[in-house]
Amino acid sequence: MQQVRVDGTDLQIIRLLARDSRTPYRSIAADVGITQGAAKERINKMILSRVIERFVVLINPIIFGYEKLCVLIVKNIDKTTIEQDIFKKLSLLGDLVAYSEELEGSYIFRLYVKDITQYKIETLSDLLKPATVETFFADFSRPPTMKVHSSDLEIMKCLLSDARKSVDNIAKETSLSHKTVARRLEKMRGNYVSQFTISRNLTSMRLTGYMEFDVLIHIELPRHQSVLEKIYRELDEYLIFIPAWYQRQVIVAVFFCANISTTKLILRRLVSYNGVNKVESFIRTSITINQNWLKREIDKRLTTNHRRLLQQQKTD
């Protein structure tokens, strides 16, 4: 496969799609100052070269009963350890959502958890030895106010294969009307049920001289909104993505820039914000998004809804 070097315009497109991968071509073109055809051509080229690996739907875990985000920073993993063995051990604590390898050799695992006990945390730390494990938890923000229907679940399931799938294709696959799909998509987005992003090939970005890095921003809860607003106001040109639903004790932000000096500038700025207790940064070398948990939870909820409907029909 031919290696494509992304340029500044491509990086702007990547940032827009990382924040909302369902952004229309015309909006992308207007934002970056090119024609709609050129925007589509650039995106298709990045897809073919796997700079953009896939379009991803993220679903608010609260609707499936998850209580917290767990982030594990694991260092000094034994080189002979099999990846699947690590995943099996992590399942003791919760469902793996994403994991990334960092430049210095550590790994960051993100899990959604439904119930937490100190015993589970200690057991997992023992199982991962001789690796060292730093663990912290973040509460999810308030739950969505909308009721999630079976039609919403069918749309979610359809989007797992391609979050940028057209409304017409979603309607065809789910046997819902075009109007219903468009309305439910907008409602889920507006109620923080769904968010759309992309999976990126970080090697291609590094070849262009850009690096992507995670920043864990530990904050005082009352200062959360003011810190978030400052990030968007002062650091937006470097910001790729902030997930929508765990923005309380910690803000998990993804940035990119061209050099270490700019990275240090960003981190110094974050540390200076009133209400920020601690900032941790990690330069990614790879990231993997896991959606097996989401497909399982959607199928489980659809089965439950179907059984409930059958039961109601029997009693009517």
Query: For the domain that residue 220 is a member of, what is the CATH number?
Result: 3.30.70.920
272 lies in some domain: yes
3-state secondary structure of 225: helix
Tens digits of per-residue pLDDT, 99-142?
A: 988 877 889 999 999 988 888 889 999 999 989 999 888 888 76
Report the distance separating Cα 131 and Cα 75, nearest Å.
Answer: 6
Return the structure tokens found at 169: 């294709």
**Backbone conformation region of residue 214, classed left if phi is above 0, alpha if psi is from -120 to 50, else beta:** beta
Structure tokens at 29: 């073109």
Number of domains comprising the chain: 2
Domain boundary among 108, 139, 170: 139
pLDDT of residue 247: 56
Q: Is residue 46 over pLDDT 60?
A: yes
End position of a domain, from candidates 139, 161, 180: 139
Q: What's the maximum distance between 2 C-alpha atoms anywhere in the chain?
A: 69
Please give the torsion angle defined by the CA atoms of residues 199, 195, 60 and 212, in that order, rounded to the nearest 10 degrees: 40
Domain presence at residue 199: no
Going by C-alpha positions, the residue among 123, 116, 108 that lies closest to residue 67 is 116
According to the model, what pLDDT value does residue 8 have? 84
Q: Write out pLDDT tens, residues 183-201.
A: 999 999 999 899 999 998 7
What is the model's pLDDT at position 116?
Answer: 81
User: Of the ranges 39-53, 206-220, 225-239, which one carries the lowest mean pLDDT score?
Assistant: 206-220
φ, ψ (nearest 5 deg) of residue 53: -85, -40
Whole-number mean pLDDT of the chain? 89
Q: Please give the Cα distance from 53 to 46 (Å, whole number).
A: 8
Q: What is the mean pLDDT of residues 36-56?
A: 93
Q: What is the pLDDT of residue 3?
A: 57
The answer to whether position 249 is within a domain reads yes
Final residue belonging to a domain, choices 85, 115, 139 = 139
User: Structural domain of residue 83, as residue ranges?
Assistant: 67-139
**What is the average pLDDT across 286-310?**
92
With respect to residue 128, please indicate whether it lies within any of the assigned structural domains. Answer: yes
Contacts of 77 (CB under 8 A, 6+ apart): 86, 105, 107, 128, 131
Tell whether 54 is covered by a domain.
no
The enclosing domain of 126 has a CATH number of 3.30.70.240
Do the domain assignments include residue 246? Answer: yes
- The secondary structure of residue 138, as a DSSP letter, is E
In a domain, 282, yes or no: yes
In a domain, 312, yes or no: no
Model confidence pTM above 0.75: yes
